[in-house]
């Protein structure tokens, strides 16, 4: 009897821990998300609010950050875009092909891969993601682009198909990707922002999700909704109306695993506020637009002060600067943030295959 009671006391805490972990596991928006991607998503959920993953954009800036700090970022961003014109010309596909091996190698090291998509205007062979000069190539008819049977819709779907072939490479290789299509979705500088009828932009996001998840079965994608600090079509003088307008771009909770915002201090892309003043304001906005979602500083000029985050917040899921040696993210700041106890670098990430 004594042995039975003791065994029961020994087993109950372990069973309780298992039950709590299972009950608390985050539900992905893709119910067929593969095991490794689920491991990544569950890990992100487990650290959210306690510590912050530090990231970097692209191979060049990542290598700079490693040289400066001696640490490897936990998250590295790549772009699902070949940049060069014409779209799907030889130089475009060459750029696309050249990204595959570096992504596979970083993923092999355990790095969390995130991917944005500077999607070039699908209606134009020489189109860019931007609308206005000097880089812009004009707007896109978003209503037509989300209406089956139109030439614009066919161009959208053909582009998604061909880019999906590259995403398929990473699905086949077992590489989870934090995928953030239509980034800075409400900013107004990219063709996919429909400031007058934001519901068209939200519908395009849902189209991308449905095609890649339901038709292509890309079960390695973790879906990141990505706003900008400026919101096209909103009245900045009316904070309540501005939040309601932002919500019109949102595709719905059932399409979003993580919510993020890109923060740049420039007048064009941001509020022209000091960086530290922008962070809390941006976090508050996204808490209202996408309540209940983990919030990431998905892209920006620098890294928030980890001392301030540790003491008063906000504690982002991850912070991903665009540059590693920049006036808004200088070398000494990179060194401090990458080595700060709040921040998680690659060496602290788990073995995804073992989780």
Pick from 244, 100, 71: which is nearest to 171 by CA? 100
Q: Is 299 a catalytic residue?
A: yes
Contact 183, 298 (CB under 8 A): yes
Place of tokens 């900045």: 236
Catalytic-role residue among 61, 152, 184, 203 = 184
Q: Is 184 a catalytic residue?
A: yes
CA distance 344 to 224: 20
Place of tokens 């976090």: 283
CA distance 261 to 183: 8
Please name the residue ranges forming H helices in 210-300: 239-247, 275-289
Burial label for 139, CB within 10 Å (0-12, 13-18, 19+), is middle
Q: What values do phi and psi take at 41, rounded to 5?
A: -60, -40
Under DSSP, is residue 167 helix (H, G, I), strand (E, B) or coil?
helix
Catalytic-role residue among 61, 152, 203, 299 = 299
Enumerate residues 6+ apart whose C-beta is below 8 A from 38.
28
Q: What is the largest CA-CA distance in the chain?
A: 82
- Catalytic residue set: 184, 299
């Amino acid at each position: 009897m004594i042995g039975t009671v003791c065994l029961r006391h020994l087993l109950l805490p372990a069973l309780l821990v298992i039950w709590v972990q299972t009950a608390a596991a985050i539900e992905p928006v893709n119910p067929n998300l593969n095991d490794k991607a689920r491991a990544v998503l569950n890990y992100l959920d487990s650290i959210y609010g306690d510590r912050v993953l530090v990231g970097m954009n692209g191979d060049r800036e990542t290598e700079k950050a490693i040289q400066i700090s001696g640490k490897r970022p936990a998250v590295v961003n790549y772009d699902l875009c070949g940049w060069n014109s014409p779209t799907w010309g030889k130089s475009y596909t060459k750029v696309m092909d050249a990204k595959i091996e570096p992504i596979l190698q970083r993923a092999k090291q355990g790095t969390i891969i995130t991917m944005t998509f500077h999607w070039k205007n699908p209606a134009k062979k020489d189109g860019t993601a931007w609308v206005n000069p000097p880089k812009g190539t004009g707007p896109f008819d978003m209503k037509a682009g989300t209406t089956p049977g139109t030439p614009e819709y066919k161009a959208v779907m053909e582009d998604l198909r061909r880019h999906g072939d590259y995403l398929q490479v990473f699905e086949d290789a077992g590489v989870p990707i934090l995928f953030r299509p239509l980034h800075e979705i409400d900013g107004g500088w990219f063709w996919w922002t429909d400031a007058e009828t934001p519901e068209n932009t939200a519908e395009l996001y849902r189209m991308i999700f449905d095609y890649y998840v339901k038709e292509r079965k890309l079960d390695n994608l973790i879906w990141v909704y990505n706003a900008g600090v400026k919101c096209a079509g909103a009245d900045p003088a009316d904070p309540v109306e501005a939040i309601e307008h932002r919500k019109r771009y949102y595709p719905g909770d059932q399409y979003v695993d993580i919510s993020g915002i890109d923060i740049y201090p420039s007048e064009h892309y941001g509020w022209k506020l000091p960086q530290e003043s922008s962070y809390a304001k941006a976090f508050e906005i996204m808490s209202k637009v996408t309540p209940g979602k983990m919030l990431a500083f998905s892209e920006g000029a620098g890294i928030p002060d980890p001392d301030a985050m540790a003491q008063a917040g906000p504690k982002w899921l991850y912070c991903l600067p665009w540059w590693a040696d920049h006036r808004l993210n200088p070398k000494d700041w990179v060194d401090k943030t990458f080595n700060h106890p709040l921040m998680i670098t690659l060496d602290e990430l788990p073995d995804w295959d073992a989780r």
